[in-house]
Structures are given as structure tokens and as C-alpha cells.
Structure 1
């Protein structure tokens, strides 16, 4: 059996996930809509590149555990009925993460098209995570 091409697979799943562009997300943030931004990138990506302001870091490997109220790992920003926008670096991992949340029962979930890279490329606000992180890379 041949190994499946991951991006081909992710692309086949995109139609199942509601998507917001950087423009649409910025408009919603500007209207102060109650959105929870979930950054599923690795911690070092967040430190090195920054993050969308007011986003919560949720490592992809912990998403289901932190989002499940029955788990000891549960994070209080995951609540039934809340609205979530999940993002990664380029918009691939966030498709899988959004599907996972939807499969868990979260019904108001979007992924950010083109991820943080698209957000940053458009010159949108970026939080300097390195300035406040105790986990900075030592050079």
C-alpha cells in the first residue's frame, strides 16, 4: 500500500470545514464578536513568529484532551456553544483540528484559510509571544 499524501488528504477534507479568510476574521474581531481563537501550532512556532492577539495556544496533540470537559486536562475556554476559529501556520493542520472539534460536538468552528502565514502576510496585528514567553529558544 502506498503512503497517502497528507496535503491531498487534507485538501479533500476542506469542504467539510467552515472557513474564514484573514479579512473575514479581522472584520469579526473588529466587531468584537465573541470568538475564541485557537492556535494549534507548536510552541516554538508561536515564539518564533508571534501569534494572532488574544489567541489561546493549544498544541495539536492536546486539543481533544483540553477540549473535553470530562478530562482532567480540560481548559475553561472550551465551552459548549462558544465560537472557535482554529489556525495553524498555513491552513492544513487547522482543517484536521477543526474537524476534530466538530466530531467532539462543537458546532461553531471555523478554520483560518492560509493560517497564521496568510494573516501575517496581509499585515494583520501580531502579538510578540517571545517578549513574554519563558520558553524562548536559547541561541
Structure 2
């Protein structure tokens, strides 16, 4: 007898749930507190540029999920020094609601980044809490 998705592989929800077992999460309030206290080396936003332009957390660096591996690898022409020079820094990864950031944090961890967490609830929760937001054009390499 087959189980749900056994023939199709894992669902997105299952993959995120597995990542959640190994990747720590912070709430938006905890992330803001750490940012305010200067305890974060990098806030990484893995949403798409169109999402970023509608609003993002001040000081965040944009690295869309689809380009993350190339931005995080210092040997590629797409490497972002804002990211590659922070391999041991405390990095908070955010997306819209927490799924992409969980997978992105897991990817960074597998690439040797040592202190990566995902922000639970993502930008949606951040903005719902009334925390600062800015708008602006996404500058991509």
C-alpha cells in the first residue's frame, strides 16, 4: 500500500518540516530585538525582487532563493560580498512567511555558513507587528 506522495516524492511542506528539525527559528520580535541590539551580522531576504520592492526590512540584503547558492559561493561571478564575507556571522534569513527562508537557511548551512537561523512568519509577520519597513528598487548584480 502506498502512502500519500510516496509515488510523487516529498511535498514542499514535508521538505520544510524536515529542514525545521535542524534549522533554528526566531520570531519577528526576537529578530527585531537582535537587530536593534546589533547582534546580527546579516539579515538576508530571499524573496523575489518584486516582493522586495513592495516593502522590506531596513538593512536587509536581497538574495532571491533561486540565486542563493551562486550569491553565497565566493567562487562564482555572482558572489555577493555582503554574504560571502559573513560565513561565521549570525545570519537571519527572511522570506514572506517562513518556508523559503527555512530552505535557504538549510542551504547556507550545507554550504558552510555556521550561524544561520530562519525568521518564522517572515516579512508578513514583521509587517503585521508594525516593525519598520522600507520600499525601494531591488539592485541585482
| Structure-1 separation of matches of 2:80 and 2:61 | 10
Match of 1:5 in 2: 11
Pair 1:25-2:31 in alignment? yes
Moved more, 64-73 or 75-84: 75-84
| Structure-2 separation of matches of 1:115 and 1:134 | 18
TM-score scaled to structure 2, two decimals?
Answer: 0.86
How do residues 1-139 of structure 1 correspond to structure 2 at under 5 angstroms?
Answer: 1-2=7-8, 4-48=10-54, 50-78=55-83, 79=85, 80-129=87-136, 133=137
- 1:117 Cα offset (Å): 0.5
Which stretches in structure 1 are left out of the alignment for 5+ residues? Answer: none
Which stretches in structure 2 are left out of the alignment for 5+ residues? Answer: 1-6
- 1:63 Cα offset (Å): 0.6
Q: How many residues align?
A: 131
TM-score scaled to structure 1, two decimals?
Answer: 0.87
- 1:12 Cα offset (Å): 2.7
- 1:18 Cα offset (Å): 1.2
SS in 1 for 2:134: coil
SS in 1 for 2:15: helix
Over aligned residue pairs, what C-alpha RMSD do you find?
1.6
Give deviations 1:78-116, integer Å, cap 9, x for gaps.
Answer: 223222111110000111100000000000101100111
SS in 1 for 2:71: helix
